[in-house]
Amino acid sequence: MRSDDLAYLLHRPDGGSEPLPLVIFLHGAGERGDDLELVAVHGPPRQVSQGQELPFVMAAPQCPADTRWEDHQESLFGLIDELVATLPIDPDRVCLTGLSMGGSGTWSLAARQPGRFAAIAPICGRGDPATADRLTGLPIWAFHNTDDPIVPIAGTTGIVEAIEAAGGDIRATINPVGGHDAWTAAYDDRSLYDWLLDHRRAAVDDGINAG
């Protein structure tokens, strides 16, 4: 499917008519381009391709070649608006997750408009500690491996410490080994999905008009 300049994979659970949570998944740098099959290499799209039935609507856009998620923030927000408007989705249960480049995109997209999301789960990405004060009211579960040779662990620990210093309550799973792949264990543990789906958007300043 395609929305604006982003093609995307879409998963909808079978049956039922009640509004469902929406999980947006942002892939890593290796899956950029114009071949949507690449998006299903890791994370929730991979699980769907293997026949797993996930209890939420899942949209997995593809980042065009030679760009990053930060270049497509308006298109991503537009995709969320389109899905909420056209599918039975609970607008208060929109969650965001991603790995590597997608983990960085998760941090930056949430910092841009934190009120869009019920919860986020950035995995082995780089967050900007300068945005910590915008993220203190948002439930966050971050993942990283200490021995990551691609994205240094400071990409997560720096912003986690900044959010904690700003008064936020953030959850972080830091494993001592595993290299860059912090996502397989994270997504294979259904407690991550349970945690994401347990949250609703807070009735606070939503930041949607923030620049």
pTM of the entire predicted model: 0.94
Helix axes of 73-86 and 101-112: crossing angle, nearest 10 degrees: 80
Q: Is residue 107 pLDDT above 70, yes or no?
A: yes
- Which of 95, 89, 142, 87 minimizes the C-alpha distance to 114? 95
CA distances from 40 to 14, 99, 106, 111, 139 (A): 20, 13, 18, 26, 26
In 3-state terms, what secondary structure has residue 176?
Answer: coil
CATH class of the domain at 20-30+65-197: alpha beta
Q: Is residue 189 pLDDT above 90, yes or no?
A: yes
Find where tokens 């929109």 sit: 94
* 172: its two tokens: 């972080």
- Which of 158, 175, 154, 176 minimizes the C-alpha distance to 166? 158
Q: What is the mean pLDDT of the chain?
A: 94
* Confidence at 3, pLDDT banded by 50, 70, 90: low
Pick the more confident residue, 177 or 202: 177
On whether the CB atoms of residues 177 and 145 are closer than 8 A, the answer is yes
pLDDT score, position 12? 94
Helix and strand counts by DSSP (H, E) for the chain: 6, 8
Polymer length in residues for the chain: 211
pLDDT by residue (tens digit) across 112-153?
A: 999 999 999 999 999 999 999 999 999 999 999 999 999 999
Q: Is residue 178 pLDDT above 70, yes or no?
A: yes
In 3-state terms, what secondary structure has residue 159?
Answer: helix
Please classify residue 77 by burial: count the beta carbons closer than 10 Å to its beta carbon, then call 0-12 exposed, 13-18 middle and 19+ buried: middle
H or E element, residue 71: none
pLDDT by residue (tens digit) across 56-94?
A: 999 999 999 999 999 999 999 999 999 999 999 999 999
Find where tokens 């080994």 sit: 177
Q: Is residue 209 pLDDT above 90, yes or no?
A: no
pLDDT by residue (tens digit) across 14-35?
A: 876 789 999 999 999 999 999 9
Residue 211: CB atoms within 10 A of its CB come to: 4
pLDDT score, position 2? 66
> Which distant-in-sequence residues (6+ apart) come within 8 Å of 203 by Cβ?
none
